[in-house]
């Protein structure tokens, strides 16, 4: 190698530059800075606006918590102020200092009470005060082309969601009944969102929906059905976000955990899977059922209640990695829901409703013939204030000559409980929706109202405020076609309620 190529480049220290060289470098730097300043001046208000927007967007976690807490307190203070004004109008005024102290005390009591209600530690006894509002019956709210399989309500009871066997998903306003329909994207878009090709004998994806659930923050809607996927939708734009594969059978039930985006899905493949909707990820699979999982429910704790055709109800404690198994006398449990963290309700295919406790493996109370199918002569003789036949463990079954309890029309297909209360409802295909009072102290289920509604009641949902009850009605049962009521209307019906 020539010696001139192996020489290293000499480093020149700027300390030894003369004054003229230094002045030329300084002038060049000043010209460059002037050019940059001129460019920023041309942007003018836009650049300053971007800086202000960036500063406003940079809200720390503590500042966000403080803002939410201040809004929360402001709402409580406004409600306390209104109550004070009402007392003043009634002539129960007092000194300003006493009013201020009473208002702060009332504010603290309301916050404690609401926190206890949200956590499920106290229960509102409202069942005895419930009266039928309006004309005393159900009103048609939303129409569907085919059988409605699921209904759900938003956290503020303003919006509702319903799905049907034809794949239709409808978002509707509770007060006005105005509907917005969800549109399925193309197959290419669905595949880009995670949809897998059909498995088994299926030649194409089925759009039939069996269940849906809405998140408590109102952002997400989850649907599931015969295509073995869990679909996630954005409720604000009504656009499809994600398709979760993984189940080997139809998705029969969905439930969001309250206060989070954690989603549970039950399937005919005998498993319950856990998903994180916010992160779009699969989390875990819960095993235990020996047959198809038909219904699940979840509250704020990380526990999921599931029933199936294996004559069992199972409570999965996800955090503890354990489960409790409850055995039912019926051949199949069709539906279930939480009453509170320690009590559960279920409906079976023999027409009975069971009340369960967490410390016993058998029902603490069984209400038999809850939806007995009356003959035409009995229906005509039934008065408005007369109770439908029902019994419990003590009085046994009614005679099946007049009250048919083994028919598909008598299967208890839906049960629901008004959150943190003793008010419950159940539905079947016998032409009535029944309201119940759950008396935990006496371990009893008391009949309140029998409201006529033709068709199979495939889903029920109470408003959080207990102001109304919505029912998903169809001419066919949710999971099959082994019965048909031609005079029924496929759609969503609403029952106004009021508290005395």
User: Whose CA is closest to 375, among 352, 340, 417, 404?
Assistant: 404
b/e 18-57 (16+ beta carbons within 10 angstroms → b): eeeeeeeeeeeeeeeeeeeeeeeeeeeeeeeeeeeeeeee
Which 3 state secondary structure label does DSSP give 73?
Answer: helix
Distance CA 182, CA 271 (A): 28
Can you say whether the dihedral through the CA atoms of 375, 333, 268, 472 is positive or negative? Answer: positive
Residues in Cβ contact with 212 at an 8 Å cutoff, skipping those fewer than 6 apart: 150, 151, 152, 161, 162, 163, 169, 221, 222, 223, 224, 254
Q: Which residue has tokens 């309890």?
A: 405
DSSP symbol at 362: S
Domains along the sequence of the chain with CATH: 62-119 (no CATH), 127-499 (2.130.10.10)
**pTM of the entire structure?**
0.75
Helix (H/G/I), strand (E/B), else coil: 306: strand
Q: What is the pLDDT along the chain (500 residues), one digit of tens a residue?
A: 555 544 555 555 555 555 555 555 555 555 555 454 544 444 444 444 444 444 445 677 777 777 877 777 777 777 767 766 766 665 655 555 555 566 567 667 666 666 666 655 677 889 999 999 888 899 999 999 999 999 999 999 999 999 999 999 999 999 999 999 999 999 999 999 999 987 765 556 688 999 999 999 999 999 999 999 999 999 999 999 999 999 999 999 999 999 999 999 999 999 999 999 999 999 999 999 999 999 999 999 999 999 999 999 999 999 999 999 999 887 789 999 999 999 999 999 989 999 999 999 999 999 999 998 764 434 434 443 344 444 333 333 333 333 444 578 889 999 999 988 999 999 999 999 999 999 988 889 999 999 999 999 999 999 999 999 999 999 999 999 888 999 999 999 999 999 98
- What's the rounded Cα separation, in Å, for the pair 159 and 155? 8
């Amino acid at each position: 190698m020539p010696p001139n190529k192996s020489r290293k480049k000499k480093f020149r220290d700027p300390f030894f530059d003369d004054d003229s060289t230094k002045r030329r470098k300084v002038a060049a730097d000043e010209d460059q800075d002037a050019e940059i300043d001129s460019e920023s001046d041309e942007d003018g208000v836009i650049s300053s606006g971007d800086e202000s927007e960036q500063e406003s967007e940079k809200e720390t976690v503590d500042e966000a918590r403080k803002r939410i807490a201040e809004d929360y307190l402001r709402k409580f203070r406004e409600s306390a102020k209104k109550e004070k004004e009402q007392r003043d109008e009634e002539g129960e005024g007092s000194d300003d200092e006493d009013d201020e102290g009473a208002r702060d005390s009332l504010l603290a009591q309301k916050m404690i009470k609401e926190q206890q209600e949200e956590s499920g530690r106290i229960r509102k006894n409202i069942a005895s005060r419930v009266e039928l509002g309006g004309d005393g019956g159900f009103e048609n709210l939303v129409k569907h082309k085919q059988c409605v399989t699921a209904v759900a309500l938003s956290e503020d009871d303003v919006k509702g969601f319903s799905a049907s066997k034809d794949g239709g998903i409808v978002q509707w306003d509770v007060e006005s009944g105005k509907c917005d329909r969800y549109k399925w994207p193309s197959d290419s878009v669905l595949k880009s969102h995670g949809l897998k090709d059909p498995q088994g004998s299926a030649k194409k994806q089925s759009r039939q929906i069996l269940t849906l659930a809405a998140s408590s923050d109102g952002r997400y809607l989850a649907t599931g059905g015969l295509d073995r996927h869990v679909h996630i939708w954005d409720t604000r734009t009504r656009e499809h976000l994600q398709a979760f594969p993984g189940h080997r059978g139809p998705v029969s039930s969905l439930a969001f955990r309250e206060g989070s985006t954690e989603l549970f899905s039950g399937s005919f493949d005998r498993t319950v899977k856990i998903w994180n909707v916010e992160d779009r990820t699969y989390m875990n699979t819960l095993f235990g059922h020996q047959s198809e999982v038909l219904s699940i429910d979840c509250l704020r704790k990380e526990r999921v209640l599931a029933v199936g055709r294996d004559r069992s109800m199972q409570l999965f404690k996800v955090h503890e990695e354990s489960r409790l198994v409850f055995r039912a006398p019926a051949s199949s449990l069709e539906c279930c829901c939480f009453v509170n963290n320690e009590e559960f309700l279920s409906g079976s295919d023999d027409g009975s409703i069971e009340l369960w406790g967490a410390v016993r493996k058998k029902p603490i109370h069984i209400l038999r013939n809850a939806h007995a199918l009356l003959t035409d002569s009995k229906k005509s003789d039934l008065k408005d204030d007369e109770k439908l036949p029902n019994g419990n463990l003590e009085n046994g079954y009614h005679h099946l000559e007049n009250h048919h309890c083994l028919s598909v029309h008598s299967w208890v297909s839906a049960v629901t409980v008004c959150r943190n209360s003793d008010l419950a409802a159940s539905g079947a295909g016998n032409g009535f929706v029944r309201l119940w009072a759950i008396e935990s102290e006496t371990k009893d289920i008391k009949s309140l109202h029998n409201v006529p509604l033709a068709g199979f009641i495939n889903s029920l949902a109470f408003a959080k405020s207990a102001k109304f009850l919505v029912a998903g009605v169809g001419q066919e049962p949710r999971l099959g076609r082994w019965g048909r009521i031609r005079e029924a209307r496929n759609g969503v019906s609403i029952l106004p309620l009021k508290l005395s």
